[in-house]
Structure 1
């Protein structure tokens, strides 16, 4: 089919031959088996067998492979696809962070924001936050291009970012190192392997996968430069939240709806934000929408910061990025 009938090939494997081989180059090395007693089933056949999507008995007849072998191949190949494509996904994000924000090995910026709601019936102070409003928290991780990658929606506003993170699915995956991040690798100028990490602010715990700024005001130059660099990267999630709130009118005033409906609204706007950032970039997002820096390192505020009526609380200036922005030219 690959050689003579491209349409049937696509119908059978749900992708073109070029796409199949591109994916095979990624997962193939892990599917290769060592020759022992007889010739092993090739990585390409293992991959095609898994993608065919038929019943295991039908696959067994079509590929002339034992039923038990088919079951084992599918399990191994699915695990390999999950591991390889997830790692490839994180590596691409890390490349973008290094290119755009000079933050090597960073795979995302993390923060939590309060979506203001009208007090729910008989909810008491459960959703009452430190800002004096009732809210549901959107905890999110974003890439270097202002797009959400992982979200956790629905935490009650009375909890702190750190507490929400600890009890959220995102937090549990990060703390247990189950996000399937790439293995540590050395930077170009150093031989020692360095972990891939997420940048966050002081509300989140320091760990092998979370990087936060040094605390204190009177820091040595090296630490101040580190804080400046880290906070440039962390500013991406602030801008992502700000763009979301400024583009969707539902966030301009407290949302009047049930908890279930509010969560669904947040989910929908997050998905729409990502879609429009990808396919309608020039109409949905312009460079002036987000924070920028001029040639002297001075911060130029994004348009969303000027909209004072946004009800996505918590999007505020970070002291490190402003204190040290004017010293950038001399210190870097």
Structure 2
């Protein structure tokens, strides 16, 4: 009996060994691989002069500079300056297998994406660059632009003298004294991941992050905060920002309170904002719904000064239309794109001068006392923040606002303001 059992066990072991050897042999047999293209033939002809970039550089740039500027959103000279600055960070070497995508093409396709917001698939056909390559080179190029230019072209003033220069421009340009900037925020729409749930879902009915910006009297972005999720209350956007902390701790070195022009009245230097922000010592917002004519005059004068930030957003959205669409990228890439657009806005203005996409922005004519609202306001994906729900502000900010109100209704008046509040329904 024992002998029979031992024979059976030995036979089973032999079968197991044979099957194991067969498994190893089959595992080592290489399966036939499906042949894949290293690159599609029509993509390989990119460097043969058959892509859009060749037409742009050899035809538009030489024969039609205005069209080149419209295509890239900057002049050829400014394009060259930008390329020179970022080329060390985006240049790639050729290999024995294929030629790399040139630095100037990388920059051009990135600028075109920001200008139009077209899909990567659409850009792939135009520039003969594969979608996977575009999904890598566009974020790389925007990151290079931001890291290279941010210290010079997106710098918040930190000295009293710098702030005084800005305040002087607000008085001469917009008739608002002791003003250090205009503050506002907009929702930037993007396609959130399913795992994010309702984290970025705002009360307006879409997923977004908030772009909050401080703008000077000449449409330059002085401070930009991007990334606060659209679900957070609008009053909390500013409260959670580094700008709010810096103002509270006085690390920005705001000038001390001073008298108004041609007046004995004095007040602190302030930032003008709308109802999305809370009234404070350095943040001025409109009076509530009142029949008081003096309050309406203040609201009009503040609105006129605050319009620079609205127009700055209008110029930004017209120039870089990617911000007017739902951006189908991850939230970190959406933040990078938004910051790069704001930075390029300042860079282009500095290099190309007062060349704006002014069509479609708010325009007021003080001679005829007329106002035309910008077309960009109709964009669903670049919408304003809602009103801040605060029961009552502190006494000191209210008194400061009253000082400005008294000044605008007396020695600081402008000749057209009374007719303006009737026409514009303040």
TM-score bin, normalised by smaller chain: 0.5 to 0.7
For residues 94 and 183 of structure 1, the distance between their equivalents in structure 2, rounded to whole angstroms, comes to 12
Aligned to 1:250: 322
Residues 143, 296 of structure 1: alpha-carbon distance in 2 compared, 3 angstrom cutoff = same
Aligned to 2:384: 314
Are the counterparts in 2 of residues 214 and 223 from structure 1 also a CA contact under 8 Å? yes
Aligned to 1:231: 303
Aligned to 2:347: 275
Q: Which has the higher contact order (CA 8 A, sep 6+)?
A: 2
Aligned to 2:335: 263
Give 3-state SS (helix, strand or coil) of 2:170's partner. helix
Q: Deviations over 1:231-282 (max 9, x none)?
A: 1111211111121111112113101111111111011100001111222245
Aligned to 2:249: 176
Offset at residue 206 of structure 1 (A): 1.3
Offset at residue 303 of structure 1 (A): 5.0
Task: Tell me which structure has the larger Cα radius of gyration.
Answer: 2
For residues 265 and 129 of structure 1, the distance between their equivalents in structure 2, rounded to whole angstroms, comes to 20
Q: Deviations over 1:209-247 (max 9, x none)?
A: 1111111232x2211111110111112111111211111
Offset at residue 296 of structure 1 (A): 2.8
Aligned to 1:149: 222
Q: Deviations over 1:57-82 (max 9, x none)?
A: xxxxxxxxxxxxxxxxxxxxxxxxxx
For residues 346 and 168 of structure 2, the distance between their equivalents in structure 1, rounded to whole angstroms, comes to 19
Aligned to 2:364: 292
Aligned to 2:207: 134
Query: Is it true that 1:110 corresponds to 2:183 in the alignment?
Result: yes
For residues 273 and 324 of structure 2, the distance between their equivalents in structure 1, rounded to whole angstroms, comes to 26
Runs ≥4 residues deviating over 6 A: none
Are the counterparts in 2 of residues 126 and 156 from structure 1 also a CA contact under 8 Å? yes
Equivalent pairs, count:
239
Are the counterparts in 2 of residues 242 and 312 from structure 1 also a CA contact under 8 Å? no
Are the counterparts in 1 of residues 212 and 226 from structure 2 also a CA contact under 8 Å? yes
For residues 299 and 196 of structure 2, the distance between their equivalents in structure 1, rounded to whole angstroms, comes to 40
For residues 282 and 167 of structure 1, the distance between their equivalents in structure 2, rounded to whole angstroms, comes to 34
Residue number among 150, 161, 164 corresponding to 2:237 in the alignment: 164
Give 3-state SS (helix, strand or coil) of 1:122's partner. helix
Are the counterparts in 2 of residues 109 and 141 from structure 1 also a CA contact under 8 Å? yes
Residues 181, 326 of structure 1: alpha-carbon distance in 2 compared, 3 angstrom cutoff = same
Are the counterparts in 2 of residues 114 and 135 from structure 1 also a CA contact under 8 Å? yes
Structure 2: where are the runs of 5+ without partners? 1-156, 387-416
